[in-house]
């Protein structure tokens, strides 16, 4: 059982929804990003989603693209991203960490070497947005063999014919993208999300977590109320990009976590 599995089992037993927070590794700089990551569990974050900066982030909107650019300009790499995870693990051995990014940096490093180093660092799961289920042999199956969860995205355009393929070999949780398009655009609607979550849950026992378009504690509560939890990314990254202090960023994260946990 991974840390992700254990966390969702505990939350289910407590009758609580999960709050997942996304931040970009190395944004605005390595030291500040590490401090933010280390502060997320105390702010109520159940799962940390840590972005790996990449030069061509095709699924991300302007806010996260800019965060990735800032991180890359500051010298952030895949190896230094793993160092942030190690810094967290020195203080916290229970909060799950999911790396979210693109396949190229992993491929360049070598899958076997990456999985060995990521496992040693304390990574629990992967979201790799440009590897479809048809490419499971590339990374998904080796990651699971290494004891890591491989988390997939389902979207409003994932129809009933495609859904079983998306769910195949998925573990940890299913990430439902509440709106079509890139990150940081639009607003999630519980009225639209609820039926879609129910459709997915009819096909899997995995938790379904909803992300994209959540910016307020009220929205976090509303969306978490029709799913097993919610993810907030762009709204947090935007605060970091504006230069908010670590304390202010973490206070905002806590308000979102409190919203999700009140669902």
Write out the catalytic residue numbers: 49, 60
For residue 167, the Cα-to-chain-centroid distance in whole angstroms is 17
Longest dimension (CA), the chain: 46
- The C-alpha atoms of residue 53 and residue 65 are separated, in whole angstroms, by 8
Residue 123 CB: number of other CB atoms within 10 A? Answer: 26
């Amino acid at each position: 059982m991974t840390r992700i599995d254990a966390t969702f089992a505990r939350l289910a037993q407590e009758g609580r929804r999960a709050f997942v927070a996304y931040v970009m590794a190395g944004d605005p700089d390595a030291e500040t990003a590490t401090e933010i990551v280390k502060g997320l569990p105390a702010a109520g974050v159940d799962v940390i989603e840590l972005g790996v900066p990449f030069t061509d982030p095709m699924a991300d909107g302007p806010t996260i693209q800019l965060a990735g650019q800032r991180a890359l300009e500051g010298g952030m790499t895949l190896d230094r991203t793993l160092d942030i995870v190690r810094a967290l693990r020195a203080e916290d051995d229970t909060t799950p960490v999911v790396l979210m990014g693109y396949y190229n940096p992993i491929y360049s490093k070598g899958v076997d070497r990456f999985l060995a180093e990521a496992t040693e660092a304390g990574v629990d799961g992967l979201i790799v947005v440009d590897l479809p289920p048809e490419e499971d042999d590339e990374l998904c199956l080796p990651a699971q063999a290494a004891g890591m969860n491989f988390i997939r995205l389902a979207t409003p355009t994932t129809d009933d014919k495609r859904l079983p393929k998306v769910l195949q070999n998925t573990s940890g949780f299913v990430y439902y993208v509440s709106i079509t398009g890139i990150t940081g655009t639009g607003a999630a609607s519980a009225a639209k999300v609820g039926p879609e979550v129910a459709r997915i849950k009819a096909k899997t026992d995995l938790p379904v977590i909803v992300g994209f378009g959540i910016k307020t504690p009220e929205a976090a509560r509303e969306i978490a109320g029709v799913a097993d939890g919610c993810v907030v990314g762009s709204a947090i990254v935007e605060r970091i990009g504006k230069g908010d202090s670590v304390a202010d960023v973490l206070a905002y994260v806590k308000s979102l976590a409190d919203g999700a946990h009140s669902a």
